[in-house]
Amino acid sequence: MSKSKVGVALVKEACPICARLYDGPILINTRLTEARAEEVEEMHGKTIGMMDKPCEECQELMNTGFLLIGYDESKTDDESNPYRTGCAWVITHEAAMKIFNADLSAGVAFIDIETAEHLKLPMSNTS
């Protein structure tokens, strides 16, 4: 019995803000070789990267105010992908201006968990 030359995989992508995993694109082998079909099928269920835009939940939070995402600097290995703690807060844009005094056009910022504690933000986990 021969192996299939068509491979299909449903992969996952992470929200660039909260890092929750969501079903991503469906990959299909276009080379139609058994080896490539096997490679594609091995990707099934794996995370392949970040989504192009925030998830619906993060977008909804950003629509209500400025979104702060807690991260732990001591657990962060890659500054471009901070270790998220699961804490998130929505504050007014005015409060964000006072705290950051910077460009807030992104609508979201990462905040070190120690800084959040210093600002007396509640430490409940949102997930």
**What does the pLDDT look like over 32-60, one tens digit per residue?**
899 999 999 999 999 999 999 999 999 99
Calculate the CA 10 to chain-centre distance: 18
Q: How far is residue 34's CA from residue 101's CA, in Å, rounded to a whole number? A: 56
Query: At 125, is the pLDDT very low, low, confident or very high (cuts 50, 70, 90)?
Result: low
Q: Is the dihedral of CA 103, 78, 64, 55 positive or negative?
A: positive
pTM equals 0.74
pLDDT given at position 126? 43
**What's the pLDDT score for residue 32?**
87
If we measure between CA atoms, which residue out of 17, 20, 8, 19 comes closest to residue 45? 8
Q: What is the mean pLDDT of residues 80-90?
A: 92
Q: How far apart are CA 28 and CA 68, in angstroms?
A: 37
